Amino acid sequence: MQVGDLVRLGTAGIQQFRVVELDDAGALVEPVLEAPGAYPFRMRLVDLHAWTD
């Protein structure tokens, strides 16, 4: 996983997020689609999965 990658939360996630920052413990992700109240947040790396179409 790298900064800029698209990910989902869990294996069945339907929302797309972009990785903004990475460290050993987790990642800062932000929603790809703009929405009122959308903001970047931290997630554990184990909970993020690569976005595949």
**Helix, strand or coil, per DSSP, at residue 34:** coil
Residue 10 is predicted with a pLDDT of 87
Q: Is the predicted pLDDT of residue 53 greater than 80, yes or no? A: no
Residue 12 is predicted with a pLDDT of 84
Contact of 6 with 48, CB cutoff 8 Å? no
Q: Average of pLDDT values for 10-14?
A: 84
Rounded Cα gap, residues 32 and 34, in angstroms: 6
Q: Is the predicted pLDDT of residue 5 greater than 90, yes or no? A: yes
Q: Is the predicted pLDDT of residue 14 greater than 90, yes or no? A: no
Q: Which residue has the higher pLDDT, 11 or 7?
A: 7
pTM of the predicted model as reported, rounded to 2 decimal places? 0.86
